[in-house]
Amino acid sequence: MGYQKHFLIILISLVLTRIISGSEAPGSLVIASHCTSECGGIAIPYPFGIGEGCYYKEKDDLSSSMSITCNHTFNPPKPILGTNIQILNISLKEAEIHLNNKISFKCDKSDNSSYLSYSRINLRTFTISSSKNKFVATGCDTFAWFKGKRYGKNYSTGCMTTCNELNDVANDGRCNGVGCCQASIPDGVTNLKTKAYSYNHHIGVEFNPCSVAYPVANDAFKFSKQNLTQNLSYYLNDRPKFPVVYNWGIGTKNCSEAEKEGSRLCKNNTECINLTHEQQGLDGYRCDCKEGYSGNPYLPQGCQDIDECKENNGGCDKKAHCKNTDGGYNCECLKGYHGNGKGADGCISSNTSLKPVIITAGIGGSIVILLVVGFLLHWINGERRIKKLRESFFRQNGGLILHQKLSSMDALKIFTTQDLEIATDKYNEMNIIGRGGYGIVYKGIIPNNQLVAIKRSLKVDPGQVEQFINEILILSQINNRNVVRLLGCCLETEVPLLVYEYINNGTLYDHLNDEAKAPLFTWNIRLRIASEVAQVLSYLHTTISTPVIHRDMKSMNILLDECYTAKVADFGASRLVPVDQEPLATMVLGTLGYLDPEYMQTSELTEKSDVYSFGVVLVELLTSKKALSYQRPEVERCLAMHFLLKMKEDRLFDIIDKNIANSQGDIEQIKKVANLAKWCLFLKGEDRPTMKEVATELEGIKTMNKHPWQDPKSSFDQENDCEHILRGIPKDDDGSSGGYSGKDSDLYKRPGFISSLGGGR
């Protein structure tokens, strides 16, 4: 008996020691008495806290992102996260924290000096909310970057904005790309860093000396012209900040894993929710009170029952008594009454005679009949409204004009909304085969069992309907085997739907950047693809009646069929250019890494912009490298600039893809294509060749290794021998037995061309 008493005393002592020391597993923590629940009037609920023992911390962690400092040097005091990030609000229900974020800016002074300040928030365990924030940049000579980590990999996005004078800027607070631009933020981004830059040091827009960029909560931003006229002293002295919404979670395990480990914080009357959707960049879970309960779900005691009967009798009928229950309440009718005290009819007298019951039943039956009739009328009226809406969209998107212009030709099919809903299984996400800046592409099957690609384009400006129709007509009439064929369109929806032939072998970008595919992607195939794409651009610029500038030429917009035949796609950014029209002044569109520097600087779009972009594609074909990659060192980040540097240093073969550089018979062709690429990448558009000249030169380079007696219809690169390509055994040309005996073309006779470009080595 004495031993038992002694053992009991020891056991109680051990339990008390563990509670006092706080060494229990997370979730059984007893909040210390010294913990405060607010700072400067802002609530600091657990799992956040001020001071040791007051916040949640993973076992064995030396620090915690939930630890908050109350800085009393301010009046009133300010809650601070990390080193200097001010907290504005913490939401347990939404698992969100609102932080005050400094802006990034670059200001140019009159003495040609500049001041650059960037913003950085390193919060590894918090992700910025994609639905409640946006990235904004303001200025008239501005481009800005938003960078971070997304699922463990580097991520970046950005936008640009230019304007010539303050009157160009909208006066109604719109952020429309003139003086202000904005970009969406994806889910799962942590460790934010924003930077603002200028293209021309704000020369010519002295009224706007500063470029500014920052992420901001959707409801906390409204653009104003005044944003453009602030100078450096304003940003240095006032140090503007904007609220940003972040998501947070508990721990690094999901609900079931934390439950097995015994560390889950969600206790009585709570539910555990795994982090999903825009919180996917986080590990862990969050807690919430069950319906009918309130309080802090992260505290050991869990959530407490809400007494709904305390106020206004719980909303019960006047002839009912409210009775609180655990997690809910009941409305019990008083004596002499029956029914549902919570319902709309409330409690009714138990002495009700049969006649009122019959009357009530008759009225109820009449109401049911009226409801059914009303529903049928509403359904019929709804069908009419839908039909009228489709007709309205059809007219808005130029359907009547299109029908009129197609009446004399069989060039394009007009699909209905039902046709394309059936083809895509109601636009099932499983059928998405591509996303881009100009729409989403779905794979579908139309009634004749033909595979098609269906593109949901961006909204068409009603003022540009005529131009949109002209573009559809031109694409439908293009008769070029190397352009993805437009089969038809649907104009009954708010945004037009375009139906293209389906190309089944991916993009040029896929093949160049796939380590398994690149070795089979021989020089002959690459040279043929380059020639085919050049012929298409030359055709668009010079052959058709109204020239077309593609404006987004890149390897991702060059599709390949099973025989590696090139198919140029995605004319969503293209512009029609009448022959006698001056250069187009447009908002700069395209893809970074391929954009013409002169076009970016002047906003004037010409055919030479396509030439520059095609030059980048040529460099991709030569190197099998991405046009822009933040995984590479800074000097190699932009492929075009890195390529030109290697050409200048006469070290071409340091950058050429080893899969093609080892073939001695192709060396001269590779050098000539490299020189042609460099010509296309000249800074000034007037110094670049036309696409017709480029196409001619590539045809000449292709014939270099042909025997003079070789049949011109037979191609050295298997244009007519698809079987070899499908086997993965491309046929090699034997340049050793004959070789190119002709002279260089006119391109290489241009004064200073060879000496200025360098031949590589």
Give the model confidence (pLDDT) of 502-520 as tens digits: 998 889 999 999 888 887 8
User: Which sign, positive or negative, has the C-alpha torsion 749, 751, 753, 759?
Assistant: positive
Is 279 within 8 Å of 290 (Cβ atoms)? Answer: no
533 CB burial (10 A radius; 0-12, 13-18, 19+) = buried
Taking the model in full, what pTM does it have? 0.46
Q: What is the pLDDT of residues 164-204, one digit of tens each?
A: 888 888 877 788 889 999 999 888 888 889 999 999 989 88
The maximal CA–CA distance of the chain, rounded, in angstroms, is 115
Pick from 152, 160, 146: which is nearest to 192 by CA? Answer: 146
φ, ψ for residue 653 (rounded to 5)?
Answer: -80, 5
| Residue 459 confidence class, pLDDT cut points 50, 70, 90 | low
- Residue 74 is given by DSSP the state S
Alpha-carbon distance of 195 to 628, in angstroms, equals 18
| Residue 665 confidence class, pLDDT cut points 50, 70, 90 | low
- HSE, side-chain direction, 13 A CA sphere, residue 509: 12
Alpha-carbon distance of 512 to 618, in angstroms, equals 12
**Mean pLDDT of the 466-479 span:** 65
369 CB burial (10 A radius; 0-12, 13-18, 19+) = exposed
Angle of helix 691-702 relative to helix 607-623, nearest 10 degrees, comes to 30
Please, what is the average pLDDT of the chain? 79
pLDDT in the model for residue 478 = 75
Is 503 within 8 Å of 481 (Cβ atoms)? Answer: no
- HSE, side-chain direction, 13 A CA sphere, residue 34: 4
User: Which sign, positive or negative, has the C-alpha torsion 688, 693, 694, 698?
Assistant: negative
Task: For residue 143, give the 3-state DSSP assignment.
Answer: strand
Tokens for 197?
Answer: 């830059």
Query: How, if at all, do strands 153-162 and 210-217 pair?
Result: unpaired
**Mean pLDDT of the 150-165 span:** 89
| Residue 281 confidence class, pLDDT cut points 50, 70, 90 | low
Which residues, 6 or more positions from 200, have their beta carbon under 8 angstroms from its beta carbon?
Answer: 141, 601
pLDDT in the model for residue 761 = 26
pLDDT in the model for residue 210 = 92
Tokens for 358?
Answer: 């019959």
Q: According to the per-residue pLDDT averaged within each range, which of 61-75, 412-426, 579-593, 610-624 is highest?
A: 610-624
Is 99 within 8 Å of 243 (Cβ atoms)? Answer: yes
Tokens for 599?
Answer: 């076009």
Which residues, 6 or more positions from 312, have their beta carbon under 8 angstroms from its beta carbon?
Answer: none
High-pLDDT (> 90) share of the chain, %: 32
Which residues, 6 or more positions from 214, have their beta carbon under 8 angstroms from its beta carbon?
Answer: 101, 102, 103, 104, 119, 135, 136, 194, 242
Residue 734: pLDDT over 50: no
φ, ψ for residue 710 (rounded to 5)?
Answer: -65, 140
One-letter identity of residue 604: E
Which residues, 6 or more positions from 25, have their beta carbon under 8 angstroms from its beta carbon?
Answer: 59, 261, 262, 263
Alpha-carbon distance of 175 to 589, in angstroms, equals 17
Angle of helix 691-702 relative to helix 523-538, nearest 10 degrees, comes to 150
User: Which sign, positive or negative, has the C-alpha torsion 345, 350, 352, 353?
Assistant: positive
Angle of helix 523-538 relative to helix 607-623, nearest 10 degrees, comes to 170
Alpha-carbon distance of 349 to 355, in angstroms, equals 14
Pick from 697, 718, 708: which is nearest to 738 by CA? Answer: 708
pLDDT in the model for residue 748 = 33
Tokens for 167?
Answer: 């009157």
Pick from 567, 563, 605, 614: which is nearest to 583 by CA? Answer: 605
Chain centre to alpha carbon of residue 210: 27
DSSP string of 408-473, one letter each residue: T----EE--HHHHHHHTTTT-GGGEEEEETTEEEEEEE-TTS-EEEEEEEPPPPGGGHHHHHHHHH
One-letter identity of residue 411: A
Which residues, 6 or more positions from 650, have their beta carbon under 8 angstroms from its beta carbon?
Answer: 758, 759, 760, 761
Angle in degrees, CA 166, 171, 177, rounded to 5: 70
Residue 719: pLDDT over 50: no
Query: How, if at all, do strands 413-414 and 486-490 pair?
Result: parallel
Alpha-carbon distance of 690 to 541, in angstroms, equals 9
Q: What is the pLDDT of residues 635-655, one digit of tens each?
A: 899 999 999 999 999 999 999
How is the beta sheet containing 413-414 ordered, strand by strand? Answer: 413-414, 486-490, 497-501, 451-457, 439-445, 432-436
268 CB burial (10 A radius; 0-12, 13-18, 19+) = middle
Altogether, the residues listed in the chain come to a count of: 761
DSSP string of 97-108, one letter each residue: EEEEEE-EEEEE
Q: What is the pLDDT of residues 616-631, one digit of tens each?
A: 999 999 999 999 998 9
User: Which residue did the predictor score with more confidence, 453 or 583?
Assistant: 453
**Mean pLDDT of the 582-604 span:** 82
φ, ψ for residue 3 (rounded to 5)?
Answer: -65, -40
Element (H, E) at 641: helix 639-648
One-letter identity of residue 326: D
One-letter identity of residue 481: R
Alpha-carbon distance of 187 to 207, in angstroms, equals 37
pLDDT in the model for residue 477 = 66
CA 608 → CA 121, 590, 742, distances in Å? Answer: 41, 14, 29
pLDDT in the model for residue 716 = 42
Pick from 682, 534, 750: which is nearest to 621 by CA? Answer: 534
Pick from 507, 501, 505: which is nearest to 445 by CA? Answer: 501
Active site residues: 552
